[in-house]
Every structure is written in C-alpha cells, then in structure tokens.
Amino acid sequence: MKRARVFPDSRVTFPTHYVSKCGIATTTLPLLLQRGQRGRTPPQYYNPHTWPKHWTATDIKSALDGNLVNPGDLPNYESLAMMLNIDLNALCILIRGCVKPPQIKEVDLESYLREHVDPKTENAEMPLQERELLLEHVNKGLARKDGSEKREVVLSYSPRGSGKTQFLKWFVHQKRSEAMKCGRVIVRCCGVTTRGKPQPLWLTKVLQVSKKNKNQQPQGSSDDGLCELIREHVESITGYLQDPSHYTTPDEAYATWKRETAWWFGIPPSKENVDPLIILDTCELLAEHEHKSLVHPPSETAEATPFTLLEAFCLAMPSPHSIVFIGSSAKFDERFSLTLANVTNIGLPPLTQDGHRSAITESWKTSMEESMRIPMYHLAGGMPSLLRLAEQHSTLGEFSDCFEAFQTAARSERIAAHDKWFPHAYTCLLASSTKAKVLGSDPIVVNPSWRDPMENLKMTYDEAMINSIGSYDKVTSRIMVPPIAFDDAAVTRPDAPILPSQLHPFLYSGAAQHFGKNSPLERSQQFDKPFLFAVYARYLLALWKGTSGGPWVPLAKVFEGALQPEQQAVMERYEVNLSRGVNIVKNSPAPKHAVTFTGTYEDAAKNAVTYLGGNAHHDAYIWCREAPLNATGERVQAKMPKEQTKSTFAIPLLLRHETRKALSHLEPQRRQSKAASKQVTLLLLVNQKPCDVCKDHVNDIVMINAAAMSNTSWLW
C-alpha cells in the first residue's frame, strides 16, 4: 500500500520574529534545524533535511505536488529518492531549484529587535525628538559614493545615556523597515553577555584574533566571524539549515545571504532599498581590543599602530557594502578612514529644553509640570536616557520625593571614571558646570597636585566623550556632564577643591526639599553660593591651564563669555587670586530688630571669594589687583615685583535676582560701605541674563551675565 502524505504550508514552522503576510505573528518556537533532528520536525517540502530516510519516490511526489515552480516539468522522483540516502546536499540544491518558496512571510521588526538588542528600550516606532536630521545623515553616509569603491561606514560614538540603541531602532523602523522585513538587515549587540546571554560563535571567532588572546593559533578571524554572523542570521530568519560551505569567504557569504533571502521572501531584483546592511550595537567591545597582526602603517603624524578588532571586522566586509557601528568608545584611526572606508561620524547631542518638552508629550505620551520638568532637565544634562528615567519618577508627588527616586535610579548611570582618569573627569565637571568654552581637541588640564609624573596621562575633550565622561557639543563648544551622574559620591579624592553639590545644590537632598520657596535663605542656597563656587571653578580652570603669574589669573578669563563686548577691555586691566577658595562668612547675631548685617568691605578675605549675603552692603567679594605692565605699557600676566604686591584689593559682586536696578540705586553701592566715602575700584553686577551697560559707567560698573557661566542660573 502506497503512503500518500501531504504537508501543507500551515504545518511549516518559523522563528518567533516572523509575521505572516496578513500581519498575524506565529507562536511556534524558532526552527534552527541541525543534523540529526529529522523526525522531530514535521517534514517540509522545500527542506530535504526534514524528510524521513525511508521516503520513496511516491512520498516525495506527494510532498512536492502543488509546490513545483513548473508543474509541466516534473523531476525524476526515483532519482530524488535515491539521492535522499546518498547525497543530501546535492538533493537540497535540486529541490531548491524546482519548488516554490513557502508562503511569503515577513520578519517582525519589533520582535527581531527585542531579541537582538536591549529589550528594556522603547519600541522602534516611538518617534525621537531632534533626531530627524541625524537619520538623513545616516542614510546619506550609507549610500554608495560615486566613483568610490571604498566601504561605506557610519559610526555613532556618543556617551552612555545619549539614546544610541533607541536611535538604532528608530533608524531601522524609519529607513530600513522593508529591508528588515525580508531579512536583509542584521542587528546584533556585541555586549550580549552583559544581559546574561551566552557569547555567540561569530563574536567568539572575532575575539580570537585579539592581542589579549595568548593562543598562538587562534581558531577564528574577522573574516570567519563575519561569515558566521551572516550564516547564523540567515539560518535564524529562515529556519533552514545553512551549509557552512556556502559561507567560507565574506564575498560568498554576502552572495548567499542575498540569494537565500531573495528566494525565501520573494524579493524581485528591481526592488530598491533592500541592500544588505549590518548594524552592530555596543561595538566598543571590539574597539577596545587590538588585532594580533593587522597594523596601520606609519605616517608623517603617527607611528605604526595595530588595527582594532572593530577596524578589522570592517575590513572583512567586502567593498562597497555598508555597515553601521554604534558604541560609546568606538573610533576609527584616521588612516583607516582615508584609505579603506568612507566613514561618517554621527554624534547624538543632548536634547534641548524644547526637545525635552516634545519628548514628554509626543514620544512618551505623558505629561509633567513645568516646575518639575525644568530642574529634572538640568539635573539630567539633557541626556535622553536620564530624562526618561526622570519622567518615570515624576509622579511621586512632591519634588523632593521625585528627586530622591530619580537620584536612586540614576546611580546605575553614575560616571565611573577609572581612578587614574578621575582628575580629567573632575575638570570636565567644572567646565560643564560653568559653561566654559572648550574645543574637542583641547587637552584637558588637571589639578597639578593630582598629576602623576610617572604616567603623564593625557586626554582631550573628544576622548572624554568617547569614555562616557560627558558629551561634547560642537555647536556651543561645551562639554556637558549630567550633574545627577556626578554627585559627591563619585568624588574619589578627599582634597577636591569643590564638591559637585556646591555647584549643583540639588545634589544635596536638603536643598530639594525647599525647592520653589522664594526666600532670601533659599536663594542663597540655590543660587548665590553655587554661583560663587562657579567663579572659583572658572578661576581653577584658568590657573591649571598654566600661567606665569603664579596664583594670579586674568579676571577677564574667569568671566569669559559672560561680559558685554564693550567691557571686555575693562576686565583685562585686572587679575584675580582665589587660591584660598570660597570663604562663607556666617551671619553673626545682630541686635534685636536690626535689619542690617554687619559684614563690610573689610571682611573680604585675601586671595579668596568671600560671601556675606543677608543684608550686607555687598553680597560678595573677590580678591584682585591691576595687571602688571611691560616696558611698552602693555598688560602682561607675570609675577609682580615685591614693591607692588601690596596694591591688591577686593572687588564686590552684587547678585541680582530681578531686573537690573536703576543707576540711582547702584550709586550707593559703589562706595566701600554705606558710611564710607571711598569708592570701590570696580563693581560687578551679576544679572540673570545680559543687561545693557550703564552708559556713563562703562569703566566701573561691569555687567555679568550669570546664565553664561553657571548651570544654576535657571533658578532665579
């Protein structure tokens, strides 16, 4: 009796990230067929690996009926039955050529990305704010350049928390969804082991050629890793055992990838925007390893240096294919970019305040009171992941409760610079907190007492970004360090001249409890003192940069960017010495009913910032001198002769929390005290925003824009 068997498409099983053409997801387990599984899997007409060994020509004919590409050209079923037991690989090739692919399916984008990158991120369809232009830059970077045979590489290296993985997912959703649906996009996370998953074979093969691997004969290479990645991907999305012999070289692997997906998903040759694309997330893992043998040749500006495994993996990719690398510390040597690949660098800057507002309503579909949103934005430094974390803890009632929860949740994002790099991270914090202008290529100056002469460690602000210490904005020329990620607990040196909470009062929980209470005491805690510490921080940055004037630095340098142009020359006449730090004068008990604090000009401490506050005649003082002159009468920064060292004096600061006072109200404060007739050399009027210069007092009343040099000016 003949056995007639029919195996309809409904019995064919596929991976969990499949959806049918009508959009209904399958519920079957992934089908990763291995040799020896025959009998456990329902026979599939297109896959001889699933056919029982005892099948006859009649069985094979029954399985293929209705599934032949050309029913009028029947195969020799007797020969097929014979090959089933003699040459299975040859049989697979014959069957592939004469049968139709299974019913057209699609790879489900969300399920696929959830499986291969961090599942804690949002859905890929969630719109991102202030990233649309970057999507176009990525698209343009991946496009083949006319007249160029080089590889097309897009590299996005931004600090932790900048939303790289979410951007990856949105890019796939917006620009490569069709390619993803038909298996032409590979997305993998190199840091998969950090999520408790085993290290995949392709990554193991790539890491085998690291210098750190002491094995003299590594069992892998970058080429092998790339081929295995493609083979593993094709097998995963088709559920069809992929013969490794078809993936022996990168060129062959790409050709097989295109051929297999074209057959399985019915991709016509004319279909556009479905070119193969590989996207690797957290690829800093590969950038941290040097290749055992590949070396960049020496150039006029650089010595011979080893390739990184990231560069080696990119080199394995045949030209002119494209690849995207996402990572916090991933970078290419310039020699690689010049000769072997067209590399497009895509940075992800922090969100602006407008971007944050839009993210709350349009991306996260929620709401947040402006009184809550503003401090959370500044604490997070505009970093998307921290802002999302803040939003998730913004419904706990009082600001202090939300802050406590946010601070606790943000500990996992705390900047953990290696101890030897802490001096550089600390300088980045000072520069960020005071809005100092820096170039990405500038070397980071550090506290001289923290320098190790044996190591002579150097780092630029660009490199600080690569190491996730902060994000660098080329537009504003600023390094930005999220205050919530660099609190007092992150300070590893007991002799740090300034604590983060002294620059950002909300890092101290007690300040958060009193937020919004508009009183002199709270203004003192929330802005006055932090601003004076910002002045001191600016002084330290100028001092550490190295001067020939000992502890004296140009006053204009301390207030750089916060001055009106017409008063720049006025400030250049003076130098400042704040080597003794910030001196907070405590309000001494005053007579009953007294309203005037007894602090006076004479209370100004030498070589320090002095804060009086209260109802003192002046809010604060800084210790200054006139800049010395050279033989031609030009002001220079140099050590002053001993006979001139006594000509130092205090310059007062008035901290204004409202609109600029009328000149008639400022006149009395030009005197050293209310009762004195002697006037101060210079009066610095600190305002929340830029103010016009007093027409007749350009040389003696200088306007300071607090918003240009303190991250807490928003509190006014």
pLDDT digits (tens, 9 = 90+) for 454-490: 777 899 998 888 888 888 888 889 999 998 888 888 8
Q: What pLDDT shows up at residue 23?
A: 41
Q: pLDDT by residue (tens digit) across 126-172? A: 999 999 999 999 999 999 888 888 899 999 888 888 999 999 999 99
3-state secondary structure at position 553: strand
654 DSSP 8-state letter: E
Classify 390 in phi/psi space as left (phi over 0), alpha (psi -120 to 50) or beta.
alpha
Question: Rounded to whole angstroms, how far apart are CA atoms 479 and 477?
Answer: 7
In the block, which residue shows the tokens 């299974």?
102
The secondary structure of 82-143, three-state, reads: HHHHHCHHHHHHHHHHHECCCCCEEECHHHHHHHHCCCCCCCCCCCCCCCHHHHHHHHHHHC
Q: What pLDDT shows up at residue 3?
A: 35
Q: Other C-beta atoms within 10 Å of 245: how many?
A: 9
Question: Rounded to whole angstroms, how far apart are CA atoms 134 and 99?
Answer: 44
Residues in Cβ contact with 284 at an 8 Å cutoff, skipping those fewer than 6 apart: 157, 190, 327, 328, 329, 330
Lowest mean pLDDT among 10-24, 38-52, 390-404, 551-565: 10-24
In what helix (H) or strand (E) does residue 185 lie, and over which residues does it extend? strand 185-189
For residue 460, the cross-strand partners are 443
Fold of 107-345: Rossmann fold (3.40.50)
Q: Alpha carbon 561 to chain centroid distance?
A: 26
Question: Rounded to whole angstroms, how far apart are CA atoms 241 and 234?
Answer: 9
In the block, which residue shows the tokens 């959806």?
19
3-state secondary structure at position 85: helix
3-state secondary structure at position 241: coil
User: In the chain, what are the domain boundaries?
Assistant: 9-102, 107-345, 353-513, 530-715
Query: Does residue 27 surpass a pLDDT of 80?
Result: no
629 DSSP 8-state letter: B
3-state secondary structure at position 91: helix
Nearest to 309 by CA among 486, 327, 320: 327
| Contact indicator for 636, 628 with CB cutoff of 8 Å | yes
In the block, which residue shows the tokens 């009328």?
662
pLDDT bracket for residue 632 (50, 70, 90): low
For residue 134, give both structure tokens.
């970057």
Greater pLDDT, 49 or 214:
49
Query: Does residue 53 surpass a pLDDT of 80?
Result: yes
Q: What pLDDT shows up at residue 236?
A: 92
For residue 507, give both structure tokens.
């890092």
| Contact indicator for 483, 433 with CB cutoff of 8 Å | yes
Nearest to 636 by CA among 547, 699, 561: 547
Question: What is the mean pLDDT of the segment spanning 40-44?
Answer: 77
Greater pLDDT, 25 or 619:
619
Question: Rounded to whole angstroms, how far apart are CA atoms 154 and 348?
Answer: 13
